[in-house]
Each structure stands twice: as C-alpha cells, then as structure tokens.
Amino acid sequence: MKKRKLTKKELKEKQKIETRKFNKTMLISFSIFFIGIMSVLIFYTYWCDTKFAYRKLAFYGNEVPKSLVCMVHNSLQHHESLKVVQNAKTFYVGSHNCHEHLIEYYKEYAFTLDAFIGDTICKANALIGLKIRSKPELVYFNNKLNFKKYYEARNK
Ligand SMILES: [Zn+2]
C-alpha cells in the first residue's frame, strides 16, 4: 500500500519535471523563432538603406552604374532602375511615371549639360557620377577626361 502511494507521488513528480522541461523547450524554440523573424525584418528594413548609404560614399569619384540611376530625377536609386528605349537611345528611369515624364518632356529630360565643360549632352551616352559625396544627386559627363577633371578640381 505504502509502496503504491509512493509510486503515484513519484509519477506526479516525474510529470511535473517533464512539463517543466517541455515548457522550457517551448520557450527556447519560441525565442529562437522570434529572434529569427526579427532578424529577417531588420535585414529587409535596413539592408537597402545600408547599401544605399554605402553606394553614395563609394561611387563618389567613380562611374555610377546606369542601372542604379533615374535619369529623370537625376538621382541614385535605392533599387535597380528600369531600362527604357526612347528615340533609339537607352535611358534608365526609376519608375513608370519617370518613363512617362521622359516621353512627354523628352527634350527637357533626355539632355543635360556636361558638369565640367557645360556642353549639351544626351544622358543616354553620358558618363555618370555623383555631384557630392554621400548625396544621391548625379552629374553627367561627355567623356572620361571631363569626368576626371571634374573630380580633380573638387578634390583640390
Ligand atoms: Zn525618377
């Protein structure tokens, strides 16, 4: 009789321990899951900004890839831009709105002045650089020499 009672008690104790173990496992699993979700969210929220901030620094004095600019807004983009062909020339724009703008005001947006010489040039053929370090504004150049001279003059 005594022995049986003890077994019951032991069983209860065992169950208690197991429940506690289970709760602990659940808590750890949930924590890992939660941290994982948060990391993904933070990554997606800030990754673009981090990349963008880095590019604004790193591209200064270097040629900016056309696939990362909007030639209508004359600015570096957070994301890859759209490649569009207009009047047999290839332009890069940030959105469909920008594209429509380019079509509608072609003469105004397709051309610009070489930032060093001041000649009128077509953005589709231009070399692109950043106007100021850490700012998304763009400047366009007719050729590599003007490009080089522009940054040499600025770094003096
Ligand atoms: Zn744009």
Residue 107: partners with Cβ closer than 8 Å, 6 or more residues away:
none
Helices (H) and strands (E) counted in the chain, each on its own, are 4, 8
Which residues, chain by chain, have CB under 5 Å from ion ligand 1? 70, 72-73, 94, 98
Q: Over the stretch 21-49, which tens digit does the pLDDT of each residue have? A: 999 999 999 999 999 999 898 888 888 88
Distance 148 CA to ligand 1 centre (A): 26
Is pLDDT of 52 > 60?
Answer: yes
Half-sphere CA count of 74, side-chain side, radius 13 A: 19
**pLDDT tens across 111-148, in order?**
999 999 999 999 999 999 999 999 999 999 999 999 99
Q: What global pTM score does this model have?
A: 0.74
pLDDT digit string (tens) for 67-86? 999 999 999 999 999 999 99
**Which amino acid is located at 50 in the chain?**
T
What's the CA-to-centroid distance between 83 and ligand 1, angstroms? 12
Q: Check whether 103 has a pLDDT greater than 70.
A: yes
Q: What is the pLDDT of residue 46?
A: 85
**Is the pLDDT reported for residue 64 higher than 90?**
yes
pLDDT of residue 7: 85
Residue 109 CA to ligand 1 centre (angstroms): 11
- CA-only gyration radius of the chain, Å: 30
pLDDT at 133: 94
Q: From CA 138, how far away is CA 128, in angstroms rounded? A: 7
Q: Using DSSP, state whether 81 is helix, strand or coil.
A: coil
Question: What pLDDT score does 8 carry?
Answer: 86
Ligand 1: centre distance to CA 137 (Å): 12
Distance, CA 70 to ligand 1 centroid (Å)? 5
Query: What's residue 42's pLDDT?
Result: 85
Among 116, 76, 113, 104, residue whose Cα is nearest residue 92: 76
Give the confidence band of 5 by pLDDT, cuts at 50, 70, 90.
low
Q: Alpha-carbon distance 11 to 145, whole Å?
A: 86
Task: Identify whether the C-beta of residue 69 lies closer than 8 Å to the C-beta of residue 77.
Answer: yes
